[in-house]
Amino acid sequence: MFSNKDITQFANLETPFYYYDLALLQNTLNACADAAKVYNFHVHYAMKANFNQKVLERIKASGYGADCVSGNEVLKAIEVGFGKDKIVFAGVGKSDKEINDALDQDIFCFNVESIQELLVINELATKKGKKAKVAIRINPNVDAHTHHNITTGLDENKFGINSWDLNDCAATLKKCAELEFIGIHFHIGSQITNLDVYKNLCVRINEFAAWFEDRGFVIKVLNVGGGLGIDYHNPDQQIPDFAAYFKIFNDFLEVRPSQEVHFELGRALVGQSSSLISKVLYVKNGKKKNFIILDAGMTELMRPALYQAYHKIENISKAAADVAVKYDVVGPICESTDCFGKEVEMPETERGDLIAIRSTGAYGEVMASRYNLRENVNVAFSEELI
Protein backbone atom coordinates (compact mmCIF):
# COMPACT_ATOMS: atom_id res chain seq x y z
CA MET A 1 0.00 0.00 0.00
CA PHE A 2 1.13 3.53 -0.73
CA SER A 3 0.45 6.46 1.57
CA ASN A 4 -0.72 9.86 0.37
CA LYS A 5 2.75 11.14 1.23
CA ASP A 6 4.32 8.48 -1.02
CA ILE A 7 2.06 9.41 -3.92
CA THR A 8 2.76 13.12 -3.50
CA GLN A 9 6.50 12.47 -3.55
CA PHE A 10 6.20 10.13 -6.54
CA ALA A 11 4.60 12.96 -8.51
CA ASN A 12 7.85 14.93 -8.27
CA LEU A 13 9.99 12.11 -9.72
CA GLU A 14 10.68 11.34 -13.35
CA THR A 15 8.80 8.23 -14.42
CA PRO A 16 9.12 5.38 -14.97
CA PHE A 17 11.08 4.31 -11.91
CA TYR A 18 11.51 1.35 -9.61
CA TYR A 19 10.56 2.19 -6.04
CA TYR A 20 12.24 0.08 -3.35
CA ASP A 21 10.73 -0.22 0.12
CA LEU A 22 13.90 -0.92 2.07
CA ALA A 23 12.07 -1.41 5.37
CA LEU A 24 10.01 -4.20 3.83
CA LEU A 25 13.15 -5.70 2.31
CA GLN A 26 14.85 -5.72 5.72
CA ASN A 27 11.82 -7.24 7.43
CA THR A 28 11.73 -10.00 4.82
CA LEU A 29 15.44 -10.70 5.21
CA ASN A 30 15.08 -10.85 8.98
CA ALA A 31 12.09 -13.21 8.77
CA CYS A 32 13.94 -15.61 6.49
CA ALA A 33 17.14 -15.52 8.54
CA ASP A 34 15.26 -16.15 11.77
CA ALA A 35 13.34 -19.09 10.29
CA ALA A 36 16.50 -20.65 8.84
CA LYS A 37 18.39 -20.24 12.11
CA VAL A 38 15.96 -22.59 13.87
CA TYR A 39 17.45 -25.50 11.88
CA ASN A 40 20.95 -24.08 11.32
CA PHE A 41 20.23 -23.87 7.58
CA HIS A 42 22.51 -21.81 5.30
CA VAL A 43 20.89 -19.39 2.82
CA HIS A 44 22.56 -17.97 -0.28
CA TYR A 45 20.86 -15.09 -2.08
CA ALA A 46 20.24 -15.77 -5.79
CA MET A 47 21.78 -12.65 -7.31
CA LYS A 48 20.04 -13.14 -10.66
CA ALA A 49 16.80 -11.95 -9.02
CA ASN A 50 18.09 -8.45 -8.32
CA PHE A 51 21.58 -7.00 -8.18
CA ASN A 52 20.75 -3.40 -7.30
CA GLN A 53 23.67 -2.12 -5.21
CA LYS A 54 21.63 -1.04 -2.18
CA VAL A 55 19.63 -4.27 -2.23
CA LEU A 56 22.83 -6.33 -2.30
CA GLU A 57 24.34 -4.31 0.54
CA ARG A 58 21.29 -4.98 2.73
CA ILE A 59 21.37 -8.70 1.94
CA LYS A 60 25.10 -9.01 2.61
CA ALA A 61 24.79 -7.09 5.89
CA SER A 62 22.05 -9.52 6.96
CA GLY A 63 24.48 -12.43 6.83
CA TYR A 64 23.48 -14.17 3.63
CA GLY A 65 25.75 -15.92 1.17
CA ALA A 66 25.59 -15.39 -2.60
CA ASP A 67 24.35 -17.75 -5.31
CA CYS A 68 25.84 -16.71 -8.64
CA VAL A 69 25.14 -17.84 -12.20
CA SER A 70 27.78 -15.82 -14.07
CA GLY A 71 31.37 -14.80 -13.59
CA ASN A 72 30.38 -11.17 -13.23
CA GLU A 73 27.92 -12.08 -10.48
CA VAL A 74 30.78 -13.79 -8.64
CA LEU A 75 32.94 -10.68 -8.99
CA LYS A 76 30.04 -8.44 -7.94
CA ALA A 77 29.48 -10.56 -4.83
CA ILE A 78 33.16 -10.17 -3.93
CA GLU A 79 32.98 -6.42 -4.57
CA VAL A 80 29.94 -5.99 -2.32
CA GLY A 81 31.64 -7.93 0.44
CA PHE A 82 30.01 -11.35 0.49
CA GLY A 83 32.47 -13.77 2.07
CA LYS A 84 34.28 -16.01 -0.40
CA ASP A 85 33.36 -18.95 1.80
CA LYS A 86 29.68 -18.15 1.17
CA ILE A 87 29.73 -17.86 -2.63
CA VAL A 88 28.45 -20.68 -4.85
CA PHE A 89 28.66 -20.61 -8.65
CA ALA A 90 26.10 -22.45 -10.76
CA GLY A 91 25.27 -22.18 -14.46
CA VAL A 92 25.00 -24.64 -17.30
CA GLY A 93 27.49 -22.75 -19.50
CA LYS A 94 30.42 -21.45 -17.45
CA SER A 95 33.18 -20.11 -19.69
CA ASP A 96 36.87 -20.77 -19.06
CA LYS A 97 37.33 -17.12 -18.08
CA GLU A 98 34.48 -17.30 -15.57
CA ILE A 99 35.85 -20.50 -14.06
CA ASN A 100 39.36 -19.06 -13.84
CA ASP A 101 38.08 -15.88 -12.16
CA ALA A 102 36.14 -17.94 -9.62
CA LEU A 103 39.17 -20.14 -8.95
CA ASP A 104 41.24 -17.02 -8.33
CA GLN A 105 38.66 -15.90 -5.75
CA ASP A 106 38.74 -19.28 -3.92
CA ILE A 107 34.94 -19.45 -3.78
CA PHE A 108 33.12 -21.95 -1.59
CA CYS A 109 31.82 -24.20 -4.35
CA PHE A 110 31.14 -24.73 -8.04
CA ASN A 111 27.72 -26.29 -8.67
CA VAL A 112 28.66 -28.42 -11.68
CA GLU A 113 26.09 -29.21 -14.35
CA SER A 114 27.82 -31.68 -16.71
CA ILE A 115 30.56 -34.29 -16.78
CA GLN A 116 32.45 -32.24 -19.36
CA GLU A 117 32.38 -29.27 -16.99
CA LEU A 118 34.01 -31.41 -14.29
CA LEU A 119 36.87 -32.14 -16.66
CA VAL A 120 37.26 -28.48 -17.63
CA ILE A 121 37.32 -27.24 -14.02
CA ASN A 122 39.84 -29.94 -13.11
CA GLU A 123 42.09 -28.95 -16.04
CA LEU A 124 41.94 -25.23 -15.22
CA ALA A 125 42.47 -25.84 -11.50
CA THR A 126 45.50 -28.01 -12.28
CA LYS A 127 47.06 -25.21 -14.31
CA LYS A 128 46.61 -22.82 -11.40
CA GLY A 129 47.74 -25.26 -8.73
CA LYS A 130 44.33 -24.92 -7.10
CA LYS A 131 41.87 -27.33 -5.58
CA ALA A 132 38.26 -26.67 -6.68
CA LYS A 133 35.36 -27.59 -4.43
CA VAL A 134 32.46 -28.96 -6.44
CA ALA A 135 28.89 -30.06 -5.86
CA ILE A 136 27.09 -32.07 -8.50
CA ARG A 137 23.86 -30.49 -9.71
CA ILE A 138 21.49 -33.37 -10.33
CA ASN A 139 18.35 -33.15 -12.41
CA PRO A 140 15.88 -35.02 -10.14
CA ASN A 141 12.96 -35.12 -12.62
CA VAL A 142 10.64 -33.45 -10.11
CA ASP A 143 7.78 -31.38 -11.52
CA ALA A 144 7.69 -27.99 -9.79
CA HIS A 145 4.13 -27.28 -11.03
CA THR A 146 5.10 -23.81 -12.11
CA HIS A 147 5.28 -22.04 -15.49
CA HIS A 148 6.94 -24.13 -18.19
CA ASN A 149 9.53 -21.43 -18.90
CA ILE A 150 10.79 -21.39 -15.29
CA THR A 151 10.78 -25.14 -14.64
CA THR A 152 14.35 -26.49 -14.36
CA GLY A 153 14.17 -29.94 -12.76
CA LEU A 154 12.65 -32.18 -15.46
CA ASP A 155 14.44 -34.58 -17.80
CA GLU A 156 13.57 -32.26 -20.70
CA ASN A 157 15.43 -29.30 -19.15
CA LYS A 158 19.03 -28.34 -19.92
CA PHE A 159 20.07 -28.03 -16.27
CA GLY A 160 22.04 -30.48 -14.17
CA ILE A 161 23.29 -34.04 -14.67
CA ASN A 162 20.68 -36.67 -15.40
CA SER A 163 20.40 -39.81 -13.29
CA TRP A 164 21.51 -42.10 -16.11
CA ASP A 165 24.85 -40.25 -16.29
CA LEU A 166 25.69 -40.56 -12.59
CA ASN A 167 27.91 -43.65 -12.96
CA ASP A 168 30.10 -41.77 -15.45
CA CYS A 169 29.97 -38.73 -13.17
CA ALA A 170 31.21 -40.74 -10.19
CA ALA A 171 34.03 -42.25 -12.24
CA THR A 172 35.07 -38.78 -13.45
CA LEU A 173 35.11 -37.39 -9.91
CA LYS A 174 37.41 -40.18 -8.76
CA LYS A 175 39.96 -39.54 -11.49
CA CYS A 176 40.01 -35.71 -11.24
CA ALA A 177 42.72 -35.05 -8.67
CA GLU A 178 42.12 -31.29 -8.35
CA LEU A 179 38.42 -31.58 -7.60
CA GLU A 180 37.13 -31.84 -4.04
CA PHE A 181 33.62 -33.29 -4.07
CA ILE A 182 31.63 -31.75 -1.21
CA GLY A 183 28.00 -32.39 -2.03
CA ILE A 184 24.97 -32.52 -4.28
CA HIS A 185 22.88 -29.66 -5.60
CA PHE A 186 19.31 -29.32 -6.87
CA HIS A 187 17.08 -26.58 -8.22
CA ILE A 188 13.74 -27.57 -9.71
CA GLY A 189 12.24 -24.23 -10.73
CA SER A 190 11.02 -20.81 -9.71
CA GLN A 191 7.82 -19.27 -8.33
CA ILE A 192 6.84 -22.49 -6.53
CA THR A 193 3.83 -21.97 -4.25
CA ASN A 194 2.81 -25.59 -3.61
CA LEU A 195 5.05 -26.68 -0.73
CA ASP A 196 4.19 -30.35 -1.35
CA VAL A 197 6.55 -30.12 -4.33
CA TYR A 198 9.43 -29.82 -1.88
CA LYS A 199 8.38 -33.03 -0.11
CA ASN A 200 8.86 -34.82 -3.45
CA LEU A 201 12.23 -33.11 -3.87
CA CYS A 202 13.35 -34.26 -0.41
CA VAL A 203 12.53 -37.88 -1.30
CA ARG A 204 14.69 -37.62 -4.42
CA ILE A 205 17.54 -35.91 -2.57
CA ASN A 206 17.55 -38.69 0.02
CA GLU A 207 17.79 -41.27 -2.77
CA PHE A 208 20.65 -39.52 -4.56
CA ALA A 209 22.56 -38.90 -1.33
CA ALA A 210 22.34 -42.61 -0.51
CA TRP A 211 23.50 -43.45 -4.05
CA PHE A 212 26.71 -41.42 -3.62
CA GLU A 213 27.35 -42.67 -0.11
CA ASP A 214 26.99 -46.28 -1.28
CA ARG A 215 29.84 -45.58 -3.69
CA GLY A 216 32.19 -44.23 -1.05
CA PHE A 217 31.57 -40.49 -1.41
CA VAL A 218 31.26 -38.29 1.66
CA ILE A 219 28.53 -35.68 1.30
CA LYS A 220 29.14 -32.56 3.38
CA VAL A 221 26.57 -30.29 1.71
CA LEU A 222 22.99 -30.86 0.62
CA ASN A 223 22.12 -27.84 -1.52
CA VAL A 224 18.38 -27.94 -2.18
CA GLY A 225 18.22 -24.79 -4.32
CA GLY A 226 15.34 -22.38 -3.94
CA GLY A 227 12.33 -21.40 -6.01
CA LEU A 228 9.95 -20.37 -3.23
CA GLY A 229 7.30 -18.12 -4.76
CA ILE A 230 5.49 -14.96 -3.71
CA ASP A 231 1.82 -13.94 -3.90
CA TYR A 232 1.59 -11.67 -6.95
CA HIS A 233 -2.19 -11.34 -6.59
CA ASN A 234 -2.00 -10.09 -3.00
CA PRO A 235 1.20 -8.02 -2.80
CA ASP A 236 0.27 -6.54 0.57
CA GLN A 237 0.58 -10.01 2.10
CA GLN A 238 4.22 -9.34 1.69
CA ILE A 239 6.43 -11.80 3.56
CA PRO A 240 6.38 -15.48 2.51
CA ASP A 241 5.89 -18.19 5.12
CA PHE A 242 9.55 -19.06 5.53
CA ALA A 243 8.87 -21.08 8.68
CA ALA A 244 6.59 -23.49 6.80
CA TYR A 245 9.06 -23.68 3.91
CA PHE A 246 12.07 -24.61 6.05
CA LYS A 247 10.03 -27.00 8.18
CA ILE A 248 9.32 -29.12 5.09
CA PHE A 249 13.04 -29.77 4.66
CA ASN A 250 13.60 -30.36 8.34
CA ASP A 251 10.80 -32.94 8.39
CA PHE A 252 11.49 -34.79 5.13
CA LEU A 253 15.21 -34.44 4.40
CA GLU A 254 17.50 -37.09 5.88
CA VAL A 255 20.46 -35.08 7.18
CA ARG A 256 23.53 -36.66 8.72
CA PRO A 257 24.92 -34.95 11.86
CA SER A 258 27.96 -33.66 9.96
CA GLN A 259 26.05 -32.36 6.93
CA GLU A 260 25.04 -28.78 6.09
CA VAL A 261 21.82 -27.90 4.30
CA HIS A 262 22.05 -24.96 1.90
CA PHE A 263 19.34 -22.94 0.15
CA GLU A 264 19.38 -20.48 -2.76
CA LEU A 265 16.51 -18.02 -2.43
CA GLY A 266 15.97 -14.98 -4.61
CA ARG A 267 12.43 -13.93 -5.49
CA ALA A 268 11.09 -14.77 -2.02
CA LEU A 269 13.55 -12.33 -0.45
CA VAL A 270 13.21 -9.34 -2.79
CA GLY A 271 10.10 -9.80 -4.94
CA GLN A 272 7.63 -7.76 -2.89
CA SER A 273 10.08 -5.01 -1.98
CA SER A 274 9.68 -3.02 -5.20
CA SER A 275 7.03 -1.57 -7.49
CA LEU A 276 7.41 -0.08 -10.95
CA ILE A 277 5.85 3.40 -10.94
CA SER A 278 4.72 4.71 -14.30
CA LYS A 279 2.67 7.60 -15.66
CA VAL A 280 -0.29 7.42 -18.03
CA LEU A 281 0.61 9.01 -21.36
CA TYR A 282 -2.66 8.43 -23.17
CA VAL A 283 -6.05 6.79 -22.74
CA LYS A 284 -7.60 5.26 -25.86
CA ASN A 285 -11.23 4.20 -25.53
CA GLY A 286 -12.61 2.01 -28.25
CA LYS A 287 -15.62 -0.14 -29.08
CA LYS A 288 -13.94 -3.39 -28.05
CA LYS A 289 -11.01 -2.29 -25.90
CA ASN A 290 -9.96 0.54 -23.64
CA PHE A 291 -6.22 1.10 -23.54
CA ILE A 292 -4.04 2.81 -20.97
CA ILE A 293 -0.67 3.66 -22.54
CA LEU A 294 2.12 4.04 -19.98
CA ASP A 295 5.56 5.57 -20.18
CA ALA A 296 6.93 2.20 -18.95
CA GLY A 297 7.13 -0.73 -21.31
CA MET A 298 8.55 -4.19 -21.73
CA THR A 299 11.97 -2.53 -21.73
CA GLU A 300 11.45 -1.70 -18.05
CA LEU A 301 9.56 -4.86 -17.02
CA MET A 302 10.03 -7.89 -19.27
CA ARG A 303 8.19 -10.60 -17.33
CA PRO A 304 4.65 -10.10 -18.71
CA ALA A 305 5.89 -10.11 -22.32
CA LEU A 306 8.34 -12.96 -21.75
CA TYR A 307 6.00 -15.49 -20.14
CA GLN A 308 2.68 -13.74 -19.52
CA ALA A 309 3.53 -13.15 -15.87
CA TYR A 310 0.86 -11.53 -13.70
CA HIS A 311 1.51 -8.35 -11.72
CA LYS A 312 -1.17 -6.46 -9.81
CA ILE A 313 -1.69 -3.06 -11.44
CA GLU A 314 -3.12 -0.11 -9.47
CA ASN A 315 -4.01 3.49 -10.26
CA ILE A 316 -2.57 5.15 -7.17
CA SER A 317 -3.73 8.63 -8.21
CA LYS A 318 -7.39 7.69 -7.90
CA ALA A 319 -9.43 6.43 -4.98
CA ALA A 320 -11.31 3.19 -5.48
CA ALA A 321 -14.50 3.75 -7.45
CA ASP A 322 -17.88 2.04 -7.19
CA VAL A 323 -17.80 1.38 -10.93
CA ALA A 324 -14.51 0.16 -12.41
CA VAL A 325 -13.44 0.42 -16.03
CA LYS A 326 -11.60 -2.43 -17.74
CA TYR A 327 -8.37 -1.45 -19.48
CA ASP A 328 -5.61 -3.19 -21.36
CA VAL A 329 -2.50 -1.68 -19.76
CA VAL A 330 0.25 -1.34 -22.36
CA GLY A 331 3.56 0.38 -22.94
CA PRO A 332 5.04 2.53 -25.72
CA ILE A 333 7.28 -0.09 -27.33
CA CYS A 334 6.75 -1.07 -30.96
CA GLU A 335 5.78 -4.66 -30.11
CA SER A 336 2.32 -6.13 -29.66
CA THR A 337 3.65 -8.13 -26.70
CA ASP A 338 4.31 -4.85 -24.86
CA CYS A 339 1.39 -5.40 -22.51
CA PHE A 340 1.31 -5.52 -18.70
CA GLY A 341 -2.25 -6.74 -18.27
CA LYS A 342 -5.53 -7.25 -20.13
CA GLU A 343 -8.99 -6.29 -18.90
CA VAL A 344 -7.57 -4.77 -15.72
CA GLU A 345 -10.28 -3.19 -13.57
CA MET A 346 -9.40 0.30 -12.31
CA PRO A 347 -11.11 3.60 -11.56
CA GLU A 348 -11.67 5.72 -14.66
CA THR A 349 -8.14 6.75 -15.58
CA GLU A 350 -6.78 9.97 -17.08
CA ARG A 351 -3.59 11.21 -18.66
CA GLY A 352 -1.01 11.95 -15.97
CA ASP A 353 -2.29 9.41 -13.43
CA LEU A 354 0.35 7.36 -11.63
CA ILE A 355 0.19 3.60 -12.06
CA ALA A 356 1.93 1.12 -9.74
CA ILE A 357 2.88 -2.29 -11.07
CA ARG A 358 3.45 -4.30 -7.92
CA SER A 359 5.80 -7.12 -6.89
CA THR A 360 8.61 -6.18 -9.27
CA GLY A 361 11.58 -6.63 -6.94
CA ALA A 362 12.61 -9.87 -8.64
CA TYR A 363 13.45 -10.03 -12.35
CA GLY A 364 12.35 -6.45 -12.87
CA GLU A 365 15.14 -3.88 -12.89
CA VAL A 366 17.76 -6.56 -13.67
CA MET A 367 16.04 -7.51 -16.95
CA ALA A 368 15.55 -3.94 -18.20
CA SER A 369 16.92 -3.21 -21.67
CA ARG A 370 17.72 -0.32 -24.02
CA TYR A 371 15.51 -1.66 -26.83
CA ASN A 372 14.13 1.21 -28.96
CA LEU A 373 17.04 3.21 -27.50
CA ARG A 374 15.12 3.67 -24.29
CA GLU A 375 16.74 5.46 -21.36
CA ASN A 376 17.98 3.41 -18.42
CA VAL A 377 15.16 3.01 -15.92
CA ASN A 378 15.28 5.26 -12.86
CA VAL A 379 15.37 4.03 -9.26
CA ALA A 380 14.10 5.51 -5.98
CA PHE A 381 14.38 4.23 -2.41
CA SER A 382 12.04 4.71 0.52
CA GLU A 383 14.76 6.14 2.76
CA GLU A 384 15.45 8.89 0.21
CA LEU A 385 11.79 9.96 0.14
CA ILE A 386 11.34 10.28 3.91
pLDDT at 28: 98
Alpha-carbon span 334 to 294, nearest angstrom: 13
Which residue, 269, 299, 322, sits at the end of a domain? Answer: 269
In this structure, are 319 and 199 located in the same domain?
Answer: no
Residues 6+ apart with CB under 8 A from 270: 25, 28, 49, 50, 55, 59, 361, 362
Tell me, yes or no, whether 282 and 247 share the same domain: no
Least Cα distance to 379 among 79, 73, 53 occurs for 53
Average pLDDT of each block of 10 consecutive residues along the chain (386 residues)? 88 96 97 98 98 98 98 98 97 96 98 96 98 95 51 51 92 97 94 93 95 97 96 93 98 97 98 98 90 98 95 94 90 97 96 98 97 97 77
The span from the CA of 237 to the CA of 363, in Å, is 19
Last residue of a domain, one of 208, 241, 269: 269
Calculate the alpha carbon distances from 74 to 185, 277, 373, 383 in Å: 18, 30, 29, 28
112 and 226 fall within a common domain: yes
Report pLDDT for 286.
Answer: 78
Total number of domains constituting the chain: 2
Give the domain CATH number at 330. Answer: 2.40.37.10
- Is there a single domain that holds both residue 316 and residue 239? no
Confidence (pLDDT) at 157: 52
In this prediction the pTM is 0.93
Amino acid (one-letter) located at 188: I
Residue 67's CATH number: 3.20.20.10
Look up residue 138 and give its DSSP letter. B
Enclosing domain of residue 310? 4-17+272-385
292 and 255, same structural domain? no
Q: What pLDDT is attached to residue 152?
A: 43
Q: Is 311 exposed, middle or buried (0-12, 13-18, 19+ CB in 10 A)?
A: buried
Tell whether 192 and 95 lie within a shared domain: yes
Query: How far is residue 241's CA from residue 230's CA, in Å, rounded to a whole number?
Result: 9
Domain boundary, last residue among 213, 236, 269: 269
